Amino acid sequence: MVGSVRVQGRGQHRRLVVSLEDLESSADEEEQLRMVWALPASAYCDLDELRRRTSWPRCLRDFRVEGDGASAVDIEGPEYRATPHELTMDWTVGTCAFGAASFEVPFHVRYLTPREGGGVASSSRVPVGLVPPSFSFRGRRLTIASELA
């Protein structure tokens, strides 16, 4: 299986755009697709937003977030009070059209640590430091092309 990830959006609200190919599921058994994404302190996924999301592809069912709890992610906290964390998402894979699926995972950039004297950086672009998530299907790690810098 192969796929790609890229980021879309500007400002505090962005989306990880995921495209996966060769998502063939056996009719006899349910198979799991897992995404593990190490997020820096400067970014987070709102777990309530993920739970309410209705736009997952039909072939990705029974979505769940590992480590989900009432205080799993403080969505109001600034970067300097947050810690890097890992988001693990699992889906049960049904029959995908043409064996492929595309979806978006919304995420947000935190208010950044202010600098003494004002501002957060010397320019208007502040790097967030995202790394691409890893994916596994049928217990095998998938090859993912990434446009994340």
Residue 15 has pLDDT above 90, yes or no: yes
Mean pLDDT of the chain: 79
Q: Which of 44-48, 68-72, 136-140 bottoms out in mean pLDDT, i.e. has the lowest? A: 68-72
CA 128 to chain centre: 14
> Can you give the pLDDT at residue 119?
64
> Can you give the pLDDT at residue 16?
93
Residue 69 has pLDDT above 60, yes or no: no
The CA-atom distances, in angstroms, between 31 and each of 40, 71, 103 are 29, 29, 18
Q: How confident is the model at residue 5 (pLDDT cuts 50, 70, 90)?
A: very high
> Can you give the pLDDT at residue 100?
83
Question: How far apart (Å, rounded) are the C-alpha atoms in residues 78 and 137?
Answer: 34
pTM score:
0.80
